[in-house]
Amino acid sequence: MWKFALLVLQNLGRNPLRTTLTVLGTMVLVAVVTLVWSILDFLDKQTAEKSNNLKAIITERWRAPSQMPYSYVRGLSEAGATEPDDFRPLDSMTWAFYGGTIDPKNRTRENSVFAFCMEPEKLLTMMDELDEMQGEPKAEFAATVEKLKQNRRGIIVGRELLANLNKRVGERMVLYGFNYKDINLEVEIVGLFPDSRYNKSSAINIEYLLSALDSYKREHNGTPHPLAANPVNIVWLRVPDMAGYQRASDQILNSPSFSNPAVKIETLASGVGAFLESFRDIIFGMRFLLAPAIIATLALVISNAIGISVRERQMEFAVMKVLGFRPNQLLGLVLVESLLVGTLAGFASAALTYFITNDYFGGINIQIAFFSKFYIPQAALWWGPLMGVGTALAGSFLPAWTARSVKVSDVFAKVA
3-class DSSP assignment, residue 120: coil
Tell me, yes or no, whether 142 and 31 share the same domain.
Answer: no
Tell me, yes or no, whether 355 and 301 share the same domain.
Answer: yes
Tell me, yes or no, whether 29 and 80 share the same domain.
Answer: no
Tell me, yes or no, whether 20 and 76 share the same domain.
Answer: no
Tell me, yes or no, whether 244 and 288 share the same domain.
Answer: no
Tell me, yes or no, whether 315 and 398 share the same domain.
Answer: yes
151/164 Cα distance (integer angstroms): 24
Question: Could you tell me if residue 274 is inside a domain?
Answer: no
Tens-digit pLDDT profile for the chain (416 aa)? 667 777 778 878 888 988 999 999 999 999 999 999 999 998 898 888 777 889 999 999 998 889 999 999 999 999 999 999 999 999 999 999 999 999 999 999 999 999 999 999 999 999 999 999 999 999 999 999 999 999 999 999 999 999 999 999 999 999 999 999 999 999 999 999 998 889 999 999 999 999 999 999 999 999 999 999 999 999 999 999 999 999 999 999 999 999 999 999 999 888 888 778 878 888 899 999 999 999 999 999 999 999 998 888 888 888 888 888 899 999 999 999 999 999 999 999 999 999 999 988 888 888 776 677 889 999 999 999 999 999 999 999 999 999 899 887 766 666 55
62/80 Cα distance (integer angstroms): 20
CA distances to 75, 267, 363 from 48, in Å: 28, 10, 22
Q: Which domain holds residue 83?
A: 63-261
What's the structural domain count of the chain? 2
Tell me, yes or no, whether 342 and 316 share the same domain.
Answer: yes
Residues 6+ apart with CB under 8 A from 208: 117, 152, 153, 185, 187
Tell me, yes or no, whether 93 and 205 share the same domain.
Answer: yes
